[in-house]
Amino acid sequence: MRIIGAASGLGAQDQACEDGPVAFHHSQAWHELAKHPQLDWGRTLYAPPERSGEAPVQRIAGFCRHLADEVALTLANQQFPVVIGGDHSVAIGTWSGVARYLAAPPGLLWIDAHLDSHTPATSYSGAIHGMPLACLLGRGDKRLLNIGLPGGQVSAAHTVVLGARSHEPEELEFLRQMSVRIIDSEEIARRGFAACLDEAMAVVAAAPAGFGVTLDLDAIDPRMAPGVGSPEPDGLRAADVLTALHWIAGMPGLKAVEIVEYNPDRDRHGSTAALLSDLIGEILPSGKHAS
């Protein structure tokens, strides 16, 4: 298992999450986790420096191409990539790299408080971390498309958004047009997390080429994960997400995991860093403290 730090906050209004991978790498939480013999911190990639006249989207596109190369190379070396962001725009690079390696769009479980499916035409803020899922489905700024494969980088028929509780109608309409399954917080409250996760994984894991998981830490209740860029009230229980990752890690076809939007400036007493460590620990072979 190889960690790839994706230290970019270019897609967010609050860019402090660009410090998330480095802050976590230097934390006591990582120090304890790093004792696992099957875990290695590979590389940390940084956003390119600003050039005169260059739009932020160009810098994001360059970063995502670099990240896609790194993810594809990790898979080609028979290692399991775990990408630590950075804002959620880095997902464009992560899953483009997976798609390129597989030569086919994977399924994707998108665990998030938000739908992240705006386009430049519908976005209220212009922030690209609100657009990555749309880009991966083939809609958005052309500079952010076709990075791994021509067309969509993930399979819409095998993509599920889980845990959303804040979105705009334009995003909802787009995802419905694409036939992406959305299991929002109200449905989870009504049906129970376990039943919703079962349904989500039946869809995602049926993708012929394999599947992945991207987790925005703001999906989790901010009382348990305060160190995020765009906190929303309530949210998933940390225990449920930990259990979910442990179960998913044992499923055949899992190609990569991504955890994003750790904002160390907003963390309290290292609690979010500790949770990030626990989340990674759930996908490690034989558990967090294997020897």
**Active site annotation includes 258:** no
Q: Measuring CA to CA, which residue among 255, 287, 286 is closest to residue 82?
A: 255
**Active site annotation includes 116:** yes
Whole-angstrom distance, CA of residue 77 vs CA of residue 208: 21
What tokens were used for 51?
């050039």
Catalytic residue among 88, 118, 158, 167: 88
Catalytic residue among 36, 66, 114, 167: 114
Catalytic residue among 87, 184, 218, 267: 218
Residues sharing a CB contact under 8 Å with residue 125, sequence separation 6 or more, in sequence order: 13
| Sequence-ordered strand ranges (E) for the chain | 2-7, 40-46, 81-85, 107-111, 159-162, 181-183, 211-216, 254-260
Helix, strand, or coil (residue 170):
helix
**Active site annotation includes 36:** no
**Active site annotation includes 19:** no
163-202: string of b/e by CB count within 10 Å (b at 16+)?
A: bbbbbeebbbebbeebebbbbbbebbeeeebeebbebbbe
Catalytic residue among 216, 240, 267, 282: 216
**Active site annotation includes 234:** no
Task: Tell me the angle at which helices 271-283 and 238-249 cross, rounded to the nearest 10 degrees.
Answer: 20
Catalytic residue among 36, 66, 118, 129: 129
Catalytic residue among 18, 184, 232, 261: 261
Whole-angstrom distance, CA of residue 123 vs CA of residue 144: 15
Catalytic residue among 18, 87, 112, 240: 112
Catalytic residue among 116, 184, 258, 267: 116
Whole-angstrom distance, CA of residue 74 vs CA of residue 178: 30
Q: Which residues are catalytic?
A: 88, 112, 114, 116, 129, 216, 218, 261
